Amino acid sequence: MSAVLITSAGRRVELLNAFRSSAEAIDPAMRILACDLDVEWSAACHMADQAFAVPRANNPDYIPALLDICRRQAVKLLVPTIDTELQALADARDEFAAIGTHVSVGHPDFVRIARDKQETARVLARLGLNTPPSFTPEEVREAPGSVPWPLIAKPNGGSAGRNISVVNDVSQLPDTSGEAFVLQELLKGPEHTINMYFDLGGKARTVIPHRRAQIRAGEVEKGVTERNEALCQAGWRLAEQLPGARGVICFQSILTERGPVVFEINARFGGGYPLAHAAGATFSTWLLQEALGLECEAHDGWTEGMRMMRYDAAVFEES
């Protein structure tokens, strides 16, 4: 009996349910598994058919633990969900493939670029894509008159909106003693996430933007799909010029007066994926089809104007 494994499952119940519905349509006997550092306090783990406790993603025992689960549970598809596990999983793709597990992650070089915001900006600029001017804190201190104030400061390897701040002058630059930061032009305009699906051959099969109407803790809370031609073209162009993407990625863009400006790439499922799923871009189905050797039915015929309004729910269990 084969299975899907969602790693770092946390509270990603919507994602787990998307895979459950996709699996039921393809193979009703397929199990949906989840793992996390703290299974007891993971809502998604409680909703899975079976859950496993694993070390932290940055622990050297993390990959061996996942390989052991995949081997014992006949996992056909492993789906990562957080940035800190992507590089290790990308580097170990062949090890998983050797035991029959397909990992939904891009080429290690692609992941390396996406995990480094400064490098992302350099690569996008080199490819001729519209991206905001980016600076290190040292560059700003040395030449404050040459930067487009105000700036937005972000941890270079951060995610989920952690430690982001607006910087209006040199006195507000972040403390970089603990981690590296990148500073970028503070863009004005509506923010969009553009979800994309790449098949096993690296071909982009769909580009689905949604406007982030309201955000909470770095994740979209209210959003709507929009078939904006400029945003869609930015996605197709990105796919042509930045090789190595596989499976699911998303990128962030601000729709400015000078057009879409791309400022971040995520080499994984975005938090707003359930909106794309509801609009007909069922990435979970397409991943399963490819992992099982079936014909991939990926398409770009998703529904524009699909709205998502999230609310809090709870999982209860007696201790």
Q: In what order do the strands lie in the sheet with 75-79?
A: 50-53, 31-36, 3-6, 75-79, 102-103
Q: Give the residue-averaged pLDDT of 80-87.
A: 97
CB neighbours of residue 161 within 10 Å = 12
Question: What is the predicted pLDDT for the residue at 264?
Answer: 93
Q: Give the residue-averaged pLDDT of 152-169.
A: 83
Contact present, 121 and 89 (Cβ < 8 Å): no
- Look at the block and give the residue holding tokens 């040459």: 146
The span from the CA of 15 to the CA of 284, in Å, is: 8
pLDDT grade, residue 265 (50/70/90)? very high
Question: What is the predicted pLDDT for the residue at 161?
Answer: 62
Phi, psi (5° rounding) for residue 224? Answer: -150, 135
Write the DSSP symbol of residue 127.
Answer: T
Looking at the predicted structure, is the pLDDT value of residue 127 above 90? Answer: no
Alpha-helical segments (H) within 13-116: 13-26, 43-47, 62-73, 86-91, 93-98, 108-114
All structural domains of the chain: 3-105 (3.40.50.20), 133-185 (3.30.1490.20), 188-309 (3.30.470.20)
pLDDT tens digits, one per residue of 251-261: 999 999 989 99
Give the side-chain half-sphere CA count within 13 A for 9: 32
Question: What is the predicted pLDDT for the residue at 261?
Answer: 96
Q: What residues contact 117, with CB distance under 8 A and at least 6 apart? A: 134, 154, 156, 157, 158, 182, 264
The span from the CA of 214 to the CA of 284, in Å, is: 25
Q: What is the pTM of this model?
A: 0.94
Question: What is the predicted pLDDT for the residue at 160?
Answer: 60
Q: Give the residue-averaged pLDDT of 57-75.
A: 98
